[in-house]
Amino acid sequence: MLTDESGRVLAEIAEGIGVATNNVAEYRAAIAALERARELGARRLLLRSDSRLLIQQLKGEWRVKNPTLIRLHTEARGLARSLGDVWYEHVPRELNKDADRLANRGVDEWLASNSYDEPAPDPDLFG
C-alpha cells in the first residue's frame, strides 16, 4: 500500500506471484512498491515491512547469501536509488495488517485463476 505523508492511499498492490518462499514474496512486494512509487513520481519513500530480513538486507546491515535473493536485492536497491531518498523501517506484523490483507488478496486471486494442486508427498519418504 502506498500512502502520502498524510496517510491518504495513493495505490494498493495485490499480486499473486505463484509458488515462492516468504523471503522471495517479501522482496517481490518491495520491488512492486518501489516501481509503483517511481511511476507516481515519488522522490522520497519510507518502505515499511514486517520482514526483518528484508529490511535489514535493504539497509545493508545483513548480508544477502541466497542467489535468488541477491538478484532481487540488486533490483530493489537499483529502484531505490532511482527514487532518491528511501528509508526502511521494520514494523511488527500486527501493525502491518493492510499489507497482510493485500498479500492475502493477491494469493487468493492467483489461486482462483490458476489450477494449482499441491504436489503429493514422495511415497519413498513414508515407506
Q: If we measure between CA atoms, which residue out of 86, 1, 8, 77 comes closest to residue 44?
A: 86
Is residue 88 assigned to a domain?
A: yes
Q: Which domain holds residue 62?
A: 2-116
Is residue 6 assigned to a domain?
A: yes
> In residues, how long is the chain?
127
Is residue 42 assigned to a domain?
A: yes
- Residue identified by cell 494498493 is 12
- Put simply, whether the predicted model's pTM sits higher than 0.95 gets the answer no
Strands 44-49 and 85-90: parallel
* Sign, CA torsion 10/55/52/67: positive
Give the angle subtended at the CA of 33 by the CAs of 31 and 34, to the nearest 5°: 65
Is residue 52 assigned to a domain?
A: yes
pLDDT 10s digits, 1-49: 676 787 777 766 767 666 678 889 889 989 999 999 999 998 889 888 9
Number of domains in the chain: 1
Is residue 125 assigned to a domain?
A: no
Distance CA 84, CA 123 (A): 53
Taking the CB of residue 24, how many other CB atoms lie within 10 A of it?
A: 16
- Give mean pLDDT, residues 46-64: 94
